[in-house]
Amino acid sequence: MGTGKLTIDLGAIRTNWRNLAAMNSGETSAVVKADGYGLGAGKVARALQKEGARTFFVAMAEEGAALRQELGPDPVINVFSGHMPGDADMIHDTGLVPMINSIDQLIRHVEALPGHPFGIQLDSGMNRLGMEPAEWGAVAQVALEQRPTLLMSHLACADEPDHPMNAQQLKTFTELTDGLGVPRSLANTGGVLLGPDYHFEMTRPGIGAYGGLPYIDAAPVVTLDIPVIQCRNLVKGETVGYANSFTAERETRIATVSAGYADGILRALGPKTHLYAGDTPCPIAGRISMDLIGVDITDLPSGSDPATLELMGRHQSIDTLADNADTIGYEILTSLGPRYSRRYIGG
Ligand SMILES: *Cc1c(COP(=O)(O)O)cnc(C)c1O
């Protein structure tokens, strides 16, 4: 097999979600947008459904319609982007619940689908999605008469517990929603970890279930093993890869593995990242190419060329890789390409 093998531990996702759910007394939903953070929305959502999740969030209606096929009629599927033009049939036919973001969306929704459930997203300071406080002030009464299922907002800085933005958004959200008698939701993974003040009736963890920071106690979910195509010896002074960016300082053995930046192994990872042969770290040698990476395996015992090398797993987490590329674990996961063979365990 020429492709890397991505092993996704659904049991670990279930454990992480269950442990996050145990931190709060309300309902815990599951965020499975962007194909379940790149890990397979249907597989992840079905595993979490078995674990007790009854409400799921996606980014757009198309994702929700696909998820409905996987989950059957019972779970609630909420859509962060709300009711977009042209989505009425899909929202109706697949029973999605749009999180209404503006007065325009509210009008569109109640005109096209009177009586169809919806939630409302409020902007508490992030300025990304949701009604502004003034907008909400103008339509709250009319909207509440239609009995929204949820009032939600999103935290901008929840992964920084000491950031004053958290308390400020909590205050704004509370002022906008107190006493209205509608279930509320504010917390993503970071918000769950901020404590009970942030939990309200429903939390919305995503990354923590997938094994990423800020949920520091998360069980690792993803392992990536990449096949070695060939190995060669270099004498001192020979170079590897584009732009000759690696020069052998000694007699060197190089393994060429079968994956590259087209598979989401960000080119910026190169200088700081290792692949593992068992427990032995082997540095990347030279530039990461589109489909290939050179790895310095000189320090392995001679005659023990590995068949595969591990890029992600117990030795190197998605957050270590994210640090190496100056990004976040979310981007490492959602960049994982379509060429890997995917194996699900622990479902
Ligand atoms: C992505 C997202 C979440 C989940 O956030 P995590 O940081 O992955 O836990 C929750 N709510 C909204 C609105 C989101 O966009």
pLDDT tens digit sequence for 289-304: 999 999 999 999 989 9
Cα(59) to centroid(ligand 1), Å: 10
User: Ligand 1 pocket check: which of 121, 127, 154, 213 to mutate, most ligand atoms within 8 Å of Cβ?
Assistant: 154
Same domain, 197 and 90: yes
Is the residue at 4 inside a domain? no
Is the residue at 216 inside a domain? no
Same domain, 178 and 143: yes
pLDDT greater than 80 at residue 70: yes
Mode of pairing for the β-strands spanning 280-283 and 274-277: antiparallel
Same domain, 206 and 302: no
The Cα angle at residue 205 between residues 311 and 318, in degrees rounded to 5: 10
Same domain, 184 and 271: no
Is residue 210 a contact partner of residue 333, using CB atoms and an 8 Å limit? yes
Q: Ligand 1 pocket, 206 CB below 6 A?
A: yes
Cα(31) to centroid(ligand 1), Å: 7
pLDDT score, position 347: 77
**Residue 5 annotated among the catalytic residues of the structure:** no
User: In which domain, by residue range, is 340 found?
Assistant: 222-345
Is the residue at 215 inside a domain? no
pLDDT score, position 2: 77
What's at 153, amino acid-wise? S
Q: Which residue reads 């963890």 in tokens?
A: 205
Is the residue at 1 inside a domain? no
The Cα angle at residue 45 between residues 44 and 50, in degrees rounded to 5: 100
Is the residue at 239 inside a domain? yes
Closest CA to 308 of 7, 10, 39: 7
pLDDT tens digit sequence for 180-215: 999 999 999 999 999 999 999 999 999 999 999 999
Is the residue at 115 inside a domain? yes
Q: What is the mean pLDDT of the chain?
A: 97
Whichever domain contains 269, its CATH number is: 2.40.37.10
DSSP 163-180: -HHHHHHHHHHHHHHTTS
Annotation: binding site for substrate: 128, 290
User: Ligand 1 pocket check: which of 188, 192, 210, 333 to mutate, most ligand atoms within 8 Å of Cβ?
Assistant: 188
Q: Ligand 1 pocket, 189 CB below 6 A?
A: yes
pLDDT greater than 70 at residue 67: yes
Same domain, 193 and 97: yes
Token pair belonging to 197: 């003040």
pLDDT tens digit sequence for 89-140: 999 999 999 999 999 999 999 999 999 999 999 999 999 999 999 999 999 9
pLDDT score, position 1: 62
Same domain, 150 and 24: yes
Same domain, 151 and 199: yes
Same domain, 177 and 73: yes
Which of 33, 215, 276, 340 is labelled catalytic? 33
- Percent of residues, the chain, with pLDDT higher than 70: 100
Is the residue at 240 inside a domain? yes
Same domain, 258 and 302: yes
What's at 47, amino acid-wise? A
pLDDT score, position 66: 98
Same domain, 126 and 47: yes
Q: Ligand 1 pocket, 207 CB below 6 A?
A: yes
pTM of the model: 0.96
Same domain, 166 and 204: yes
| CA distances from residue 323 to 57, 66, 81, 269, 328 in whole angstroms, order as listed | 27, 33, 30, 9, 7
Overall number of domains in the chain: 2
**Residue 43 annotated among the catalytic residues of the structure:** no
Q: For ligand 1, atom 6, which residue shows the shortest CA distance? A: 206
Whichever domain contains 133, its CATH number is: 3.20.20.10
Using DSSP, state whether 22 is helix, strand or coil.
coil
Distance CA 280, CA 300 (A): 8
* Distance from the Cα of residue 294 to its chain's centroid: 28
Annotation: binding site: 128, 290
Is the residue at 272 inside a domain? yes
Same domain, 142 and 276: no
Cα(258) to centroid(ligand 1), Å: 33
Domain final residue, candidates 210, 240, 262: 210
Domain final residue, candidates 210, 232, 255: 210
